[in-house]
Amino acid sequence: MRYPEHVSAGGNAPPADDLTNPFAKDSASIADGSQIFTRMNCDGCHGAGATGWVGPSLVDGRWRYGGSDGSLFQSIFYGRPRGMPAYGGVMSAGAIWRVVSYIRAQPVPSTVPTERWEPPQRP
């Protein structure tokens, strides 16, 4: 991605590839991610098991900002405008990737609270 106001080292724009999770999605990292999810109080907004509360469900297979590993990382690192805090300053990249592994490992429940989600209409 290149914007005119970007100053790129050596004149080369960085690659625009999607971020990939550098951690193996093994049971140990998923278990670590589950602990981090609780310890960072993600469950305070997203509910136990990330099934949704004040924040949306992260396990219903539907995504406002994309469900790839890279999109999840960006949601957590930078936050999202309608109430998702940015955790880039308080969590290491490794901790964020482990939480991503945990979220992606959760099965989609057989019933989910809403059938569809639409963004609020802007005037």
Q: Are the C-beta atoms of 50 and 57 separated by less than 8 Å? A: yes
Structure tokens at 72: 């999840």
72 touches ligand HEC (CB under 6 A): yes
- Cβ of 1: how many Cβ atoms within 10 Å? 7
* Closest to 23 in 3D by CA, of 90, 76, 100, 103: 100
In the complex, what is the shortest distance from the CB of residue 34 to ligand HEC, in angstroms, rounded to a whole number? 11
Site for ligand HEC in 22-51 (CB under 6 A): 40-42, 44-46
Instruction: Kindly state whether residue 89 participates in binding ligand HEC, applying the rule CB under 6 A.
Output: no
- Where does this chain bind ligand HEC (CB under 6 A)? 40-42, 44-46, 54-56, 58, 63-65, 72, 75-76, 80-85, 87, 99
